[in-house]
């Protein structure tokens, strides 16, 4: 409510006209309230709107003139905004400011407003007026809700991935451990049959069974290695002084003759180092087996040993179709089956992963180069000349 000259005066809690000497100041105050970027309401003890600026009235879908002089009950119905009413009445009784949020239905959309209540002190007697400043925080609440939902979704996805990883670890451990005993029994039975003698008629079948148990043992050992690595234990290493070409000789001598005949050896120097010969043989065997499997059978597989100052290098090269570029980024990850299923070791895709872990465990690296013109070359590089190796060096890899 304003006076006939457009000024607003608050004295005893009711709007009254002002004297000419103060009219300019009151008009300036009114203009300041009108241009504020917040909703401004002044209510009396009957919850009647004494003043409403233009922005505040617009937020309620009304004009200022429609609200001023009317109570909340008259405008919005009895009992509406109960929490807001309670806080208003408390402000009149206690004289204490308050702050909260309120939801307001605008058409079919619910909008949220943050508001603060500030009692206006009276010259004498009880409080008669309270100022309410509010602003629309609907967008902020919507963003907070979306962020909360986003965090909840991310957390749920993280929880699912963690549960899947834990299940995978338990499954790998259980399968690999539980398969060892029955496999050992089969292997013992085959060795017993060999010692007791077997007819030529069944010898080939027995040899196939032995190769199958060897492949199964390789798979189980690989699964155990993966379990140890993912649990942070790393590959167990037993390093000792060893010559790299001696390990290559051991690997080739343990291969079937038809495969060994396809391998050509080249040696430049005789690099030595402190390495785990068993793990090194495992890595070299995986690389040579991979080359024999995927290389062109009309060309030999070349195993080259080379020593440089402080480094030992073993490369395995084969001719044939190159590795597709899209496979290269994940080639040394576990459970990658390579170019096609059915690798020599009955692979479940752990061969190259183990090679990389053996290299890392010795402080070395493995890399690959594959083109249609040059073929495919895997290079295993290791520290040489007695560089010490920690027995659990790959645990933190």
Mean pLDDT of 210-235: 72
Question: Is residue 262's pLDDT more than 50?
Answer: yes
pLDDT of residue 256: 86
pLDDT of residue 162: 78
Give me the residues paired with residue 370 across strands: 376
pLDDT of residue 41: 94
Q: What percent of the chain has pLDDT over 70?
A: 81
Beta strands at 49-52 and 365-371: parallel, antiparallel or unpaired: unpaired
Mean pLDDT taken over the chain: 81
As its CATH architecture, domain 9-136 has 2-Layer Sandwich (3.30)
Angstrom distance (rounded) from CA 116 to CA 121: 16
Domain with CATH 3.30.565.10 in the chain: 240-383
More confident residue, 149 or 94: 94
pLDDT of residue 221: 74
Beta strands at 301-308 and 263-268: parallel, antiparallel or unpaired: parallel
Domain with CATH 3.30.450.20 in the chain: 9-136
pLDDT-wise least confident of 8-12, 38-42, 349-353: 8-12
pLDDT of residue 6: 37
Tens-digit pLDDT profile for residues 366-395: 999 999 999 999 999 999 975 545 555 554
Tens-digit pLDDT profile for residues 176-209: 566 666 667 777 777 777 777 777 777 777 777 7
pLDDT of residue 264: 96
Tens-digit pLDDT profile for residues 60-88: 889 999 999 999 999 988 888 888 898 99
What confidence tier does 2 reach under pLDDT thresholds 50, 70, 90?
very low
pTM over 0.75: no
143-230: CATH topology: Helix Hairpins (1.10.287)
More confident residue, 327 or 334: 327
Tens-digit pLDDT profile for residues 275-317: 999 999 999 999 999 999 999 999 999 999 999 888 999 999 9
Closest CA to 332 of 365, 291, 363: 365
240-383: CATH topology: Heat Shock Protein 90 (3.30.565)
Q: What percent of the chain has pLDDT over 90?
A: 41
Domain with CATH 1.10.287.130 in the chain: 143-230
Angstrom distance (rounded) from CA 361 to CA 275: 10
Closest CA to 266 of 227, 298, 307, 299: 307
Question: Is residue 131's pLDDT more than 50?
Answer: yes
Distance of CA 129 to the CA centre of its chain: 55
Question: Is residue 223's pLDDT more than 80?
Answer: no
Tens-digit pLDDT profile for residues 339-351: 443 344 445 678 8
Tens-digit pLDDT profile for residues 39-65: 999 999 999 999 999 999 998 889 999
State whether the Cα torsion 203-205-207-209 is positive or negative.
negative
């Amino acid at each position: 409510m304003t006076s006939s000259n457009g000024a607003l005066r608050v004295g005893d809690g009711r709007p009254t006209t002002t004297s000419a000497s103060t009219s300019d100041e009151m008009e300036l105050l009114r203009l300041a309230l009108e241009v504020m970027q917040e909703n401004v309401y002044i209510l009396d003890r009957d919850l009647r709107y004494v003043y409403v600026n233009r922005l505040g009235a617009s937020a309620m879908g009304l004009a200022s003139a429609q609200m001023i002089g009317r109570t909340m009950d008259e405008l919005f119905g009895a009992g509406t905004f109960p929490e807001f009413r309670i806080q208003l009445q408390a402000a009149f009784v206690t004289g204490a400011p308050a702050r909260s949020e309120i939801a307001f239905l605008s058409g079919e959309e619910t909008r949220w407003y943050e508001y603060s209540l500030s009692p206006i002190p009276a010259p004498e007697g009880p409080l008669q007026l309270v100022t309410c400043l509010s602003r629309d925080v609907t967008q902020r609440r919507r963003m907070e809700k979306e962020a909360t939902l986003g965090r909840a979704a991310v957390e749920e996805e993280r929880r699912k991935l963690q549960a899947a990883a834990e299940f995978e670890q338990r499954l790998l451990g259980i399968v690999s451990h539980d398969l060892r005993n029955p496999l050992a029994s089969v292997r013992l039975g085959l060795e017993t049959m060999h010692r007791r003698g077997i007819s030529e008629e069944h010898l080939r079948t027995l040899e196939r069974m032995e190769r199958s148990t060897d492949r199964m043992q390789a798979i189980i050992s690989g699964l155990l290695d993966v379990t140890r690595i993912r649990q942070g234990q790393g590959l167990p290493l037993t390093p000792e002084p060893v010559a790299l070409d001696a390990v290559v000789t051991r690997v080739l001598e343990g291969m079937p003759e038809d495969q060994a005949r396809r391998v050509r050896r080249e040696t430049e120097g005789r690099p030595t180092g402190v390495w785990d010969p068993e793990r090194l043989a495992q890595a070299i065997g995986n690389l040579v087996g991979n080359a024999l499997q995927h290389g062109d059978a009309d060309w030999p597989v070349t195993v080259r040993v080379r020593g440089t100052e402080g480094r030992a290098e073993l490369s395995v090269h084969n001719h044939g179709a190159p590795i597709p570029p899209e496979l290269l980024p994940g080639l040394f990850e576990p459970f990658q089956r390579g170019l096609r299923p059915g690798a020599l070791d009955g692979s479940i895709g752990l061969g190259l992963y183990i090679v990389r872990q053996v290299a890392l465990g010795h402080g070395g690296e493995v890399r690959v180069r594959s083109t249609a013109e040059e073929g495919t070359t895997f290079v295993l590089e290791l520290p040489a000349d007695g560089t010490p190796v920690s027995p659990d060096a790959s645990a933190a890899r």
